[in-house]
Amino acid sequence: MQLKVENLTLGYPQRHAPTRLLVECLALAAPEGELIALLGRNGVGKSTLLRVLAGVRKPLDGRVTMGGKDVAALAAAEKARLIAFVTTEPVTVAHLRVHEVVAMGRAPYTGWFGSLTEADERMVAESLERVGMAAFHDKTLDSLSDGERQRVMIARALAQDTPLVLLDEPTAFLDLPNRYQIALLLRDLAHETGKTILYSSHDLSTALELCDTLWVMTPRGVAAGAPEDMLLSGMLEGMFEGTPLTLTPQGTVQLKRITRGTLRVAADVEPAVARMVERTATRFGYEVVEDERREADVLVGSSAVARCVLTRTDNRTTVEVPDFHALATLLRSFRVR
């Protein structure tokens, strides 16, 4: 069952001013069984778009459909069987146990009294198992770490058993390993269950590595495509307009720097050392050149007693470099241009 966005316009009505438009005339489709990252800068409207997709906020114009059904026109019960939405607001009710939180996902199916059937209990257990939290089923939610709590929220969405899962910045307050693990979990769930999983994030590097599709939101609209297509087309660069940052063709975010010189690493330098030399040089504004026919301001060669040997070509000064802190100090002190 596919999510489609047709001629969608998002914005905020303002009491004493014209309506503030975020984006206009969006047309998007979310493939089934894929992990999609919604990327964009703060204030561009990512959360608003997710809330409109979830049917909890109305667009200014256009519509969102699931399997051809207008989401805004669906009854709450039917909507809850199609779309699971994990918001940024943390659930912190004291003494609420993990399995009780996940069981909330079965609410669309439990009837008036909310009692769980054997099939419901099995769905709760399977959802906890899928996210690696089965051993925590009887722990209280407030005793968990941020990463564990986020896994429980994902399990609740899985227990809801919908074809579409939306998550608003699920990795926002997590450390780097947990951010990666949650994104990896979401990808595996999308591929294994056939669900469409769409989440908003600022973590471009993880999205580039793990997601099937990127939705990149700017004031001009939303561009969609595979990570590699987005890199080649330059669509991701709009995220960094007006900032001191730039995006390399490989998808690495870097500071824009004025080139202060050129540096070449000799072929006999150990590959691991060469990579770190190039990284250090780039950090201090040196352009790394590989073509030996091109003149370089600084040459780096191998050394039997140090990390490397550094030579300035203007005055042929040679220095043994014991470590990368020393290399950084030297490169920063040079005035080659």
Q: Cα–Cα distances in Å, from 218 out to 45, 204, 237?
A: 8, 14, 10
Give the confidence band of 62 by pLDDT, cuts at 50, 70, 90: very high
CATH code of the domain made up of 3-243: 3.40.50.300
Mean pLDDT computed over 44-71: 95
Mean pLDDT computed over 73-98: 89
* Neighbour tally for 305: CB within 10 Å: 7
Q: Which string of b and e fits 50-68 if b means at least 16 CB within 10 Å?
A: bbbbbbbeebeebbbbbee
Closest CA to 59 of 4, 5, 11: 11
More confident residue, 278 or 89: 278
Cα–Cα distance measured from residue 264 to residue 7, given in angstroms and rounded to the nearest whole number: 52
pLDDT of residue 13: 81
* Neighbour tally for 281: CB within 10 Å: 23
The pLDDT tens digits for 183-209 are: 999 999 999 999 999 999 999 999 999
CATH match of 261-333 with 3.40.50.800: yes
Q: Indicate if 261-333 has the same CATH topology as 3-243.
A: yes
Structure tokens at 98: 């993990």
Mean pLDDT computed over 68-81: 95
Indicate whether 92 pLDDT > 80: no
More confident residue, 252 or 90: 252
pLDDT of residue 235: 86
pLDDT of residue 52: 97
Contacts of 194 (CB under 8 A, 6+ apart): 32, 33, 163
Helix, strand or coil, per DSSP, at residue 23: strand
Mean pLDDT computed over 295-320: 92
Beta strand 261-265 with 298-301 is parallel
Cα–Cα distance measured from residue 67 to residue 87, given in angstroms and rounded to the nearest whole number: 23
Structure tokens at 152: 């429980």
The domain spans of the chain are: 3-243, 261-333
DSSP 75: -
Cα–Cα distance measured from residue 24 to residue 216, given in angstroms and rounded to the nearest whole number: 14
Residue 230: Cβ-neighbour burial (10 angstroms; 0-12, 13-18, 19+)? buried
Helix, strand or coil, per DSSP, at residue 194: coil
Cα–Cα distance measured from residue 61 to residue 7, given in angstroms and rounded to the nearest whole number: 7
The pLDDT tens digits for 265-293 are: 999 999 999 999 999 999 999 999 998 88
Q: Specify the pTM.
A: 0.84
What integer best gives the mean pLDDT of the chain? 92
Mean pLDDT computed over 200-227: 94
Mean pLDDT computed over 294-312: 93
Residue % of the chain over a pLDDT of 90? 73
The pLDDT tens digits for 113-159 are: 678 999 999 999 999 999 999 999 999 998 999 899 999 999 999 99
The pLDDT tens digits for 152-178 are: 999 999 999 999 999 999 998 888 899
